[in-house]
Amino acid sequence: MDVDKVPETKASRAFRIFFEKRGEARGEAQGEANGRRKSLLRVFEARGLSPTKEERALIAALKDVAVLDRCVQAAVTAASVGAVLAGAETSHRRRATPARAPRRAVKKPSSRR
Domain around 70: 9-92
Mean pLDDT for the chain overall: 80
- 39 part of a folded domain: yes
- 33 part of a folded domain: yes
User: Domain tally for the chain?
Assistant: 1
Q: What angle do CA 84, 89, 93 make, to 5 degrees?
A: 150
- 37 part of a folded domain: yes
- 16 part of a folded domain: yes
State the angle between helix axes of 53-61 and 81-92 in degrees (0 to 180), rounded to the nearest 10. Answer: 30
CA distance 23 to 29: 10
The pLDDT tens digits of the residues spanning 34-70 come to 999 999 999 999 999 999 999 999 999 998 889 999 9
* pTM of the predicted structure, to 2 decimals: 0.59
- 106 part of a folded domain: no
Beta strand extents in the chain (DSSP E only): none
- 77 part of a folded domain: yes
- 14 part of a folded domain: yes
- 107 part of a folded domain: no
